[in-house]
C-alpha cells in the first residue's frame, strides 16, 4: 500500500513537470499530497480528552438545512445568468441523512436591512499564493449589490492558531465602528475557523463587534492528515510565483492535528452570546478534483465522508447551527484556481468550479434572517 501510494504521489509531481506548469503546479501537488506517507492517520495515544461520536442534535447542534436550502435555491435560480459556474440547486447541495423540510416562507432577495459584512479568515498558505491566484473579487462585488460587503482579514499563512487569533483581533478592532448592532460576520475557512474561534475566546473585547461566526469547511476538529504531515511540506507554498509569505511561527500544521484541536475545544468554552453556524463541504466522490484524490483516499481510511482535507463531522462547531452540506471539495468552495489558471484547472483541479458568489449571498441572507428571528 505504501509503495502504491508513493508511486501515485511521484506520478503527480512528474505530470506537473512534464506539462511545463512550473513552480505553481509543483507546489499545488506537494500540498495536495501531504497525505501520501503510509503511517497511521490516527496513531495510538492516551493523550486525548475523552471523546464521543454522536449525532449533531445530541451534541447541541441545531439543524436548519431545510431553510438554507430554500434560500440558496432561490438565490441560484435568480442569479443563474449573472454568476460564474452556476449549477442547479440539487447539484450545489448534498442531501445527507434526513434533512429537515423547509419553512415554506418566501425568500427575500431584496436589499439587506442589517448590511452584514463577511470578514473572511483564510486557510493555510493563502497569503503565499494570493498574488498568483489573482482572485477576481467577484464575490465581494456580487454581495455589495444587495447591501452586504466582504472583506479579507490577513493572517499569517504558516503560523499557528494563537498567533493568527491575535491578528484577527487586531483586524476587527481596526475596522471602523458604526452605529447600530454588530455587523461583522466572521467566516473562517479551513484553518481560518479555529483561528476565529480562538480569537473569540481569547479576546473578549472583540465580541461586541461580531454578529456571528460561520465555519466554512472549517478544520474545527482538525484533520487526521495533519498527523501525517510536517511543517516543511506546508512551507512548499513559499515557492509559489510571487509569494511573499514566510514561515511565521511554523505552527500551522501542528495546530491542525486533531489532538491539538480537540484538546483546545475541551478546555475552552465558546461564548454563548455569539451565534455560530457551520457550512460543511461534503462532496460526491466525482466532485473531488484530480489533484486532491490521493488525500481524499488517504483520509477515507478514517472516514470516506471527507472533502479531501477534513472529515465532515470535524467541520461542525459544537453547539452551532448546521446550515448545509455543500457538494464541493475543500478547495472548490473557496479558492477559484480554475478561473485564474485554466490549464491547471483542466488538468489538475478538475472539480474546482462552484458558484461561490451565490453561496456567499445565500449564507449572508440566511444569517441575517436567523439573527432577526432570534432578536439579535
Strands (DSSP E) along 74-145, which ranges? 117-121
Which tens digit of pLDDT belongs to each residue from 162-171? 999 999 999 9
Domain count, the chain: 1
Whether 27 is in a domain gets the answer no
301 is written with which cell numbers?
Answer: 481510511
Locate the DSSP E strands across 255-301. 276-281
CATH assignment of the domain containing 304:
3.40.50.1820
The confidence score (pLDDT) of residue 25 equals: 55
Three cell numbers written together for 117: 459584512
Q: How does pLDDT run across 166-192, given as a tens digit for each residue? A: 999 999 999 998 888 899 999 999 999
* Structural domain contains residue 194: yes
Partners of residue 189 on adjacent β-strands: 216
Q: What share of the chain is helix, strand, coil (3-state, %, to 5)?
A: 45, 10, 45
Q: Is residue 278 part of a domain?
A: yes
Please say whether the beta carbons of 60 and 319 come within 8 A: yes
Judge whether 49 lies within some domain: no
Q: What is d(CA 208, CA 182) in angstroms, rounded to the nearest whole number?
A: 7
Answer whether residue 176 is part of any domain: yes
Domain membership flag for residue 267 = yes
Average pLDDT over residues 100-123: 97
Task: Report d(CA 236, CA 36) in Å as an integer.
Answer: 15
Mean pLDDT computed over every residue of the chain: 89
Decide if 10 is inside a domain. Answer: no
CA atoms within 13 A on the CB side of 219: 30
Q: Which structural domain, as residue segments, surrounds residue 328?
A: 59-373
> Does 23 have pLDDT greater than 80?
no
More confident of the two residues 321 and 230:
321
Distance CA 360, CA 337 (A): 18
**DSSP H or E run through 101:** none
Extract the C-alpha cell encoding 248. Answer: 511565521
Largest CA distance in the chain: 61
The answer to whether residue 20 sits within a structural domain is no
Contacts of 148 (CB under 8 A, 6+ apart): 112, 115, 116, 117, 118, 361, 364
3-state SS class at 188: strand
CA 2 to chain centroid: 29
Q: Give the model's confidence band at 282: pLDDT under 50 very low, under 70 low, under 90 confident, else very high.
A: very high
CA distance 294 to 346: 17
Amino acid at each position: 500500500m505504501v509503495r502504491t501510494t508513493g508511486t501515485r504521489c511521484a506520478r503527480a509531481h512528474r505530470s506537473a513537470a512534464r506539462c511545463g506548469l512550473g513552480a505553481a503546479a509543483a507546489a499545488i501537488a506537494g500540498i495536495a499530497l501531504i497525505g501520501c506517507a503510509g503511517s497511521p492517520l490516527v496513531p495510538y495515544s492516551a493523550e486525548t480528552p475523552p471523546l464521543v461520536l454522536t449525532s449533531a442534535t445530541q451534541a447541541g447542534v441545531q439543524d436548519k438545512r431545510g431553510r438554507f436550502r430554500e434560500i440558496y435555491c432561490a438565490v441560484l435560480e435568480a442569479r443563474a445568468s449573472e454568476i460564474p459556474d452556476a449549477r442547479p440547486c440539487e447539484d450545489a447541495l448534498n442531501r445527507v441523512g434526513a434533512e429537515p423540510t423547509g419553512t415554506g416562507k418566501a425568500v427575500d432577495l431584496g436589499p439587506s436591512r442589517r448590511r452584514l459584512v463577511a470578514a473572511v479568515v483564510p486557510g493555510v498558505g493563502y497569503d503565499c499564493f494570493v498574488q498568483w491566484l489573482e482572485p477576481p473579487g467577484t464575490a465581494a462585488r456580487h454581495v455589495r449589490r444587495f447591501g452586504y460587503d466582504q472583506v479579507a482579514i490577513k493572517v499569517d499563512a504558516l503560523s499557528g492558531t494563537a498567533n493568527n487569533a491575535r491578528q484577527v483581533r487586531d483586524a476587527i478592532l481596526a475596522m471602523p465602528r458604526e452605529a447600530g448592532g454588530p455587523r461583522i460576520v466572521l467566516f473562517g475557512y479551513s484553518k481560518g475557523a479555529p483561528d476565529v474561534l480562538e480569537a473569540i475566546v481569547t479576546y473578549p473585547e472583540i465580541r461586541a463587534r461580531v454578529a456571528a461566526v460561520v465555519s466554512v469547511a472549517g478544520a474545527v476538529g482538525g484533520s487526521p492528515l495533519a498527523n501525517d504531515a510536517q511543517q516543511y511540506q506546508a512551507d512548499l507554498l513559499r515557492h509559489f510565483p510571487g509569494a511573499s509569505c514566510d514561515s511565521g511561527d511554523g505552527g500551522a500544521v501542528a495546530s491542525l492535528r486533531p489532538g491539538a484541536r480537540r484538546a483546545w475545544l475541551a478546555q475552552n468554552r465558546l461564548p454563548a452570546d455569539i451565534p455560530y453556524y457551520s457550512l460543511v463541504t461534503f462532496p460526491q466522490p466525482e466532485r473531488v478534483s484530480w489533484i486532491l484524490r490521493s488525500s481524499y483516499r488517504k483520509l477515507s481510511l478514517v472516514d470516506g465522508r471527507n472533502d479531501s482535507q477534513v472529515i465532515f463531522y470535524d467541520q461542525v462547531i459544537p453547539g452551532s447551527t448546521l446550515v448545509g452540506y455543500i457538494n464541493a471539495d475543500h478547495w472548490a468552495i473557496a479558492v477559484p484556481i480554475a478561473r485564474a489558471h485554466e490549464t491547471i484547472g483542466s488538468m489538475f483541479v478538475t472539480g474546482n468550479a462552484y458558484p461561490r458568489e451565490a453561496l456567499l449571498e445565500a449564507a449572508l441572507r440566511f444569517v441575517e434572517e436567523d439573527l432577526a428571528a432570534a432578536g439579535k
